[in-house]
Amino acid sequence: MADSAHTAAELPLSGTVVVELGDSASAPFSGQVLAALGAEVWKVERPGAGDSSRGWGPSRWRGSGAAFHALNRGKRSIGLDLKDPAQLSTLHDLIERHADVFLHNLRPGSAAQYGLDAASLRARKPRLVCSELGAFGDAGPLRTEPGYDPMMQAFAGIMGLTGEEGQAPVRAGVSIIDFGAGLWLALGTVAALLRRERSGHGAAVSGSLLETAMAWMSINIANHAADGDPGGRHGSGVAIIVPHRAYAAADGHLVVSAANDRLFARLAAALGHPEWAADPKFSTNAVRLSHRREIDGLIGHVIAQQPRAWWQDRLSRAGLPCAPVQTVDELVRHPQAQALGLLDRQDGSDLAMVGLPLSFDGRRPPPLAPAPDIGQHDAELWRALGRAPSGHADQDVPAGSPRAQSARAKPA
């Protein structure tokens, strides 16, 4: 458990300025990860409408979808209309004068249209790290197509493996592709910044939703390459291990995992049937796979006799991995979730937000500031650029602005 939070100045990316032109989930999540690691993140939004996730519902908080708050904490918001040449010029000015990283998930072709592609920006500022998230990737016949998380779960075959056999396709209940792509981009960005320290040169970092989805399919693709089997749906179970799924207890479901034959023998004993471990149909994982329905039925019949907590206690004492299938409200109330100190309360309110799931030297990064209103930091932008919106100079620069940090930045 992280015992106390770091100060912002102690975080790994302290002093790094990121300009984020991200919308929806993937790029904003990446920007928030960088913010949690200490970067100063300037989020560019459309004046009036803002990030698309501000309109997602039904859950709302302070005028925006709760999803926006979950993805955009710790950032400054500036409102710029890229179709206005003067405002686009302002964005270029901010990037060229202050940014270490420019991060975006613009639709393919749009970055070049606005002169925000990596080649154009790095021609003027070679030290810049340009990090871009696409949909289908930057090559191939679909490279110019837009995309969202469910599309990639479908296209990459994840939906073909999710749900119950014979039933309609099901997407994962959380945005695993958006969040995964955001994490990959954050990792690539940090790696590029590290390389810049050695070489003095920035980089063009690119990733996509489809590439992330295919990465999550690594084992399944390897299995198919080995034997030609495309796989199928196994509900809460998996194709390669038995038993490794949820079983119905008397008051809910419990996931039980016996990922090797030693654990299966221990499970059989805990269930009161040690003879299963010696049965030729169940003695190894290879044969259990061929008799999946039978052994799952036997295990399920026994587990149904007692409630979840009873089995958790018994199986845990036997050293067997198990966990209840919980709802969100059960999770946030659970002593284990609370002990981790991962849930932040925004402004002392009841709005719980998940912090960075990392600790450094035993300490977790501090909670991020609440997500900003659209254009909340426009005045800071103009002061950071040394002029007022009308174009007049303004020397009153706040200590936390990029301009105040520009003395520390290396020249382009």
- Say whether both 200 and 253 belong to one domain: no
Whether the link from the prior residue into 58 is cis, omega within 30° of 0, is yes
> Is 228 part of a structural domain of the chain?
no
Sign of torsion over alpha carbons 179, 182, 188, 193: negative
- Say whether both 251 and 197 belong to one domain: no
- Say whether both 46 and 185 belong to one domain: yes
- Say whether both 276 and 385 belong to one domain: no
- Say whether both 360 and 302 belong to one domain: no
- Domain stops at, among 257, 291, 324: 324
CB distance 363 to 66 below 8 Å: no
- Say whether both 206 and 256 belong to one domain: no
Parts of the chain with a pLDDT under 70? 1-9, 346-348, 388-412
CATH of residue 302: 3.30.1540.10
What are the DSSP calls for 41-83, one per residue? EEEEE-TTT--GGGG--S-EETTEEHHHHHH-TTEEEEE--TT
Number of domains composing the chain: 2
> Is 381 part of a structural domain of the chain?
yes
> Is 223 part of a structural domain of the chain?
no
pLDDT value, residue 163: 93
pLDDT value, residue 345: 77
- Say whether both 306 and 396 belong to one domain: no
**Residue 264 structural domain:** 244-324
Neighbouring C-alpha atoms within 13 Å toward the C-beta of 139:
2
Question: pTM for this structure?
Answer: 0.88
- Which residues fall within 8 angstroms of residue 46, CB to CB, at 6 or more apart? 79, 81
Neighbouring C-alpha atoms within 13 Å toward the C-beta of 359:
12
> Is 63 part of a structural domain of the chain?
yes
> Is 231 part of a structural domain of the chain?
no
> Is 221 part of a structural domain of the chain?
no
Report the distance separating Cα 181 and Cα 232, nearest Å: 25
pLDDT value, residue 396: 38
Report the distance separating Cα 208 and Cα 215, nearest Å: 11
Per residue in 367-378, pLDDT (tens digit) is 999 999 999 999
Report the distance separating Cα 199 and Cα 195, nearest Å: 6
CA distances from 27 to 41, 71, 215 (A): 12, 9, 18
> Is 184 part of a structural domain of the chain?
yes
- Say whether both 52 and 107 belong to one domain: yes
Question: Rg for the chain (alpha carbons), in Å?
Answer: 25
- Say whether both 123 and 20 belong to one domain: yes
CATH of residue 31: 3.40.50.10540
- Say whether both 110 and 81 belong to one domain: yes
- Say whether both 202 and 269 belong to one domain: no
- Say whether both 248 and 203 belong to one domain: no
Residues 48-57 as b or e (16 or more Cβ within 10 Å = b): eebbbbbebe
Report the distance separating Cα 70 and Cα 51, nearest Å: 13
> Is 236 part of a structural domain of the chain?
no
- Domain stops at, among 324, 355, 377: 324
